[in-house]
Amino acid sequence: MLTYFVVQSFDFTPKGAIAAGKAVEVQDVEHALRLAEKLACCSAGVVAFSRTGDPISGEFEDAVILYANGIVPMLEAEVSMAS
């Protein structure tokens, strides 16, 4: 089993839509939190999360949100479905 730590930022397009930036894989939770906090000041939104699973079988547990700030479209969809 491996755990991946990822930071995903979101920015506004020139027409005002939200677009995902490049997802960045980092080494550990502390790095994910530092990078997410840094990106939060210059992005429309940012989320840091981890996923644990087996890359060979492709079976992964649900993502664990470590940090979220601003507009994060995938979390807004989750909240809408839960309501």
pLDDT in tens, the chain (83 residues): 999 999 999 999 999 999 999 999 999 999 999 999 999 999 999 999 999 999 999 999 999 999 999 998 876 544 333 33
- The predicted structure's pLDDT at residue 75: 67
Residue 8: which domain range? 2-82
- The predicted structure's pLDDT at residue 83: 32
pTM: 0.83
Number of domains observed in the structure of the chain? 1
Which tokens go with 69? Answer: 């700030």
Distance between CA atoms of 82 and 13, rounded to whole angstroms? Answer: 28
Per-residue burial over 8-36, b = 16 or more CB atoms within 10 Å of its CB, e = otherwise: bbbbeeeeeeeeeeeebebeeeeebbebb
